[in-house]
Amino acid sequence: MKICIIGLGYIGLPTATMFATHGVDVVGVDVNKNVLNKLQNGSIHIEEPGLQEIFQLAIHNKKLTISNTPEKADAFIIAVPTPFLHDDYGEYQGKKYKKADMSYVVSATESILPFLEPGNLVILESTSPPRTTIDLIKPILERSGLKVGTDLFLAYSPERVLPGKILTELKENARVIGGINSESAEKGRDLYSRFVKGEIVLTDATTAEMVKLMENTYRDVNIAIANEFSRLSDRFGIDVWEAIKIANLHPRVNILNPGPGVGGHCISVDPWFLVETAPDITPLIRTARDVNDSQPDFVVDLVKRIIGEPKGQRIAALGLTYKPDVDDVRESPAVEIVKILIERGFTLRLFDPYVKSLKSFEDYLMGNLEDTVIGADLILVLVDHSEFKSLDPGSLIGFRNKKILDTRHCLDIRKWHQAGFEVIFLGNSI
Ligand code: SAJ
């Protein structure tokens, strides 16, 4: 069995490695020269626990090869990104909405055309708007002269893994495989069952696309309501964290955590794929996106209420990634908050143990925590990295004001009080 995986990013690389360590010959293909260089030299370009070791094993055993072009194989998996377009918006009733950039999916699909042979299976893994497999991928594949459904088999199978836990979740999570016909879905099941231990559920391609989008949209909408609760609690002078804890004692209530906003390449992007394809019937999904996207403004407003309008105050911002213990800053609300604070005229120093350099913030980024907090009027915790949660405030010196704003509710308040700090949480009236 030989497969070709197009796209060696956060999903393609772990998936390629998994297949390669489960008896399949894998050709991993990417177009990015830096990525190829790194991988061909034996090291991975993403931070993911455990991946480096099994990647090296797969390369060493010659089960995984890295290339810049596809080759003939039994199956092809497309795992390229589907970000949104940054300069092309749709509009519905005077409001702009974001649109998916399908160009990587299109060029990846076109790149396999010369290598397709009768009996091949093609799987799209990239998160995509509903009907992409049928309306976009199928016609491209048919340009090969092969008939999709009889000569070629086609399915959509979304990844559903959590960054930071990818290797375990790839194996253990339930996997949905949506075929354009039942034979395609069954061939998909035969392929993924080589390493998937979770339940494999077969359905049609459009249902599988919807399942993926519904999961992330469900989460986005639920985080939006938690964020709105944080604003209400702030207004009414109560602690949102205590209120949520008590509300969640109800057997049918499970409110998520408010925070500085929603980031990452999934939850903050995918709901737009539904709004884009059906703007007239998705007001709730759209509003949730707007609420989460405006949460950074709420944080900036809170900062101003704590230290006043900018006139030379210094802020030590801790954390830039979109969530804890990863190095990913895509769509990160922390980055957005820092950007707004700098624009407004505050003086910032930044530190993130996972981010050693970041375009446009180079002058602000510090190499260690100690230098970051010197002269600070406010410590602003934007990400709940383990390193910050376990921080001993007694080890830090040189503040101008001992104030800390925790947007993640992750600090041990007792320790910080003992060290003489005023601790403020997002969603806890000041
Ligand atoms: N967040 C909150 N409050 C919460 C939970 C999360 O503000 O209660 C924020 C996080 O801080 C982060 C963002 O939401 O900025 C998203 O983080 P996440 O950990 O919820 O999810 P992702 O984006 O890392 O991964 C999601 C997962 N989807 C679901 O949990 C439904 C994962 O299973 C998917 O595979 C992934 O998206 C994807 O690739 O689509």
Ligand 1 centroid to Cα of residue 41, in Å, is 32
Say yes or no: CB of residue 219 within 6 Å of ligand 1. yes
**Number of other residues whose CB lies within 10 A of the CB of residue 340:** 16
Q: Which residues, 6+ apart, have CB-to-CB distance to 287 below 8 Å?
A: 224
Residues across the chain: 430
Ligand 1 center–CA 267 separation, angstroms: 6
Q: pLDDT 10s digit of each residue in the chain, 430 long?
A: 999 999 999 999 999 999 999 999 999 999 999 999 999 999 999 888 999 999 999 999 999 999 999 999 999 999 999 988 988 999 999 999 999 999 999 999 999 999 999 999 999 999 999 999 999 999 999 999 999 999 999 999 999 999 889 999 999 999 999 999 999 999 999 999 999 999 999 999 999 999 999 999 999 999 999 999 999 999 999 999 999 999 999 999 999 999 999 999 899 999 999 999 999 999 999 999 999 999 999 999 999 999 999 999 999 999 999 999 988 999 999 999 999 999 999 999 999 999 999 988 999 999 999 999 999 999 999 999 999 999 999 888 899 999 999 999 999 999 999 999 999 999 986 6
Substitution candidate for ligand 1 out of 126, 257, 262 with most atoms within 8 A of CB: 262
Distance, in Å, from the CA atom of 20 to the CA atom of 57, rounded to the nearest integer, reads: 9
Check residue 86 and give its pLDDT: 85
CB of 163 within 6 A of ligand 1: the answer is: yes
Q: What is the pLDDT of residue 257?
A: 98
Q: Copy the structure tokens of residue 115.
A: 């290598």
Catalytic residues: 212, 266
Q: Using the atom order of ligand 1, give the atom closest to the CA of residue 220.
A: 14
Distance CA 348, CA 105 (A): 39
Q: What is the pTM of this model?
A: 0.94
284 lines ligand 1 (CB under 6 A): no
Residue 122 CA to ligand 1 center (angstroms) comes to 28
